[in-house]
Amino acid sequence: MSVILRNFGLSPRYTGQRSLVCCTTLFHTSTKLRKDTDDKYHDINSMYENMFTPMYNHSPINRRESEDKANTSLEDDINDFNKDMHDIYNIGFSKETLSASQLKDIVKAKGRFVLQSLSTNPYYNLALENYMFTNTPKTKKGFDSCRLLFYINNKCAVIGKNQNLWQEVDLAQLKSKNFKLLRRFSGGGTVLHDLGNVNYSFLTSRDKFDTKFFNKKVIEWLNSSNPELKLELNDRGDIIQNGFKVSGSAYKIAGGKAYHHATMLLNSNLEQFSGLLEPSFPRDMEWESSGVHSVKSKIKNIGTINPGQFIGLVSENFQKSFKVDKNIPIYACDESITINDEIKDAMNSLRSDNWKYFSGPKFSIKLKDKNLKIQVVKGMVYECNKKKLIGLEFNDFLKNIDSYT
């Protein structure tokens, strides 16, 4: 319910009395109509009617005070109702969407929390993750502000910081299927995201960091919610189900802090993924690259859990298992309001050709049949036995390979 209210801009906490009236009217209209037509809904309709009917009388003298009281109890009722809905459906969305300054305050203070991004823009989400990581206070011995971030991205391929993108993705296919390309700030291999894939990012201190720690928890929580899932951890720290990979992980360690971020394939469109990570080249092309190569795995969806349920389940278990003294709050953030210059700068970096195409490891290719040897540094042809190719963008070379060879 909180989601519905917020999505329609009706949350009383943020939009005030006018929204409440509107919301109340909507409920009155719909519940009354149904009440007239179907008596079996009488009880629940009466409950809604009572819940959403203001209690004040309209005398001008008492009005403000009565309105305040009515509003408070109405808000309490709505909050209780939201909580019940949250508990019943495990929706995983919090009630509080942070403003930019609230985000800054909670990130820079010590303490544990869960944050869920409501944006599906991968540039925002990766920049937000980076903001949260760099601004979490430096750790002193024994201190750990464990934090958990969730985000879901629109269609995109995310390559690792140290990967050679031309070996990893088929740029033309990505474009034709409307997948964005991003180079993330952490290492690891290339993964594909869409709205059926949830990304979780667990932040902790460097001291306590262990690549397998958080996935062991996730597996324990999911398997105990449904033993049929039979999720397992493989040696590489990936989560697998019946031998298929359902989650891949990458890590970043810096400044006494570390994060482990991972994908979780729940109901992704795997058919659309096919071929995106299989670029094709001339048969005689040989690569020599110092970069990180992805380890190809067969993937599948978990299927029986949807993204909202996954986020709800992991958040709740995180709240229970990681609680120290006070309850761990759950916040939400959104690109339209929870944004600041640092996040915008990181988004610009992530979007820039410089970061996507002109960074990454140096590499060489050989085309034996054509007697061609090229060395590429920062996405540009740096050395070549055909001098006229030196200084060319490697992307241009590949796109027009026939005319250059």
Ligand X SMILES: Nc1ncnc2c1ncn2[C@@H]1O[C@H](COP(=O)(O)OP(=O)(O)OP(=O)(O)O)[C@@H](O)[C@H]1O
Q: How far apart are CA 349 and CA 355, in angstroms?
A: 6
Q: How far apart are CA 151 and CA 256, in angstroms?
A: 24
Residue among 12, 122, 248, 312 that touches ligand X (CB under 6 A): 248
Tell me the window of 48-56, 120-128, 183-191, 325-333 that interacts with ligand X (CB under 6 A): 183-191
Tell me the window of 46-54, 110-118, 173-181, 291-299 that interacts with ligand X (CB under 6 A): 291-299
Q: What angle do CA 342, 347, 351 make, to 5 degrees?
A: 150
Residue 24, both tokens: 């109340």
Whether 261 contacts 129, CB under 8 Å:
yes
Number of residue whose CB is nearest ligand X:
189
Pairing of strands 147-151, 197-205: antiparallel
Tell me the window of 3-11, 43-51, 185-193, 303-311 that interacts with ligand X (CB under 6 A): 185-193
Residue among 19, 162, 173, 294 that touches ligand X (CB under 6 A): 294
* Contact between 153 and ligand X per CB under 6 A: no
249: Cα separation from own chain's centroid: 13
Tell me the window of 41-49, 57-65, 132-140, 258-266 that interacts with ligand X (CB under 6 A): 258-266
Total residues at interface with ligand X (CB under 6 A):
23
* Contact between 295 and ligand X per CB under 6 A: yes
- Which is nearest to 160 in space by CA: 356, 402, 391? 356
For the chain, what percentages of helix, strand and coil (3-state, to nearest 5) are there?
A: 45, 20, 35
* Contact between 120 and ligand X per CB under 6 A: no
Per-residue exposure over 142-159, b if at least 16 CB sit within 10 Å of its own CB, e if not? eebbbbbbbbbbebbbbb
What is the x/- site pattern for ligand X, positions 97-116, by CB under 6 A?
--------------------
From the CB of 378, what's the least distance to ligand X, in Å? 22
Nearer to ligand X, 43 or 235 (CB): 235
From the CB of 285, what's the least distance to ligand X, in Å? 20
Which residues would be at the binding site for ligand X (CB under 6 A)?
A: 160, 188-193, 197, 238, 245, 247-250, 262-263, 265, 277, 294-297, 299
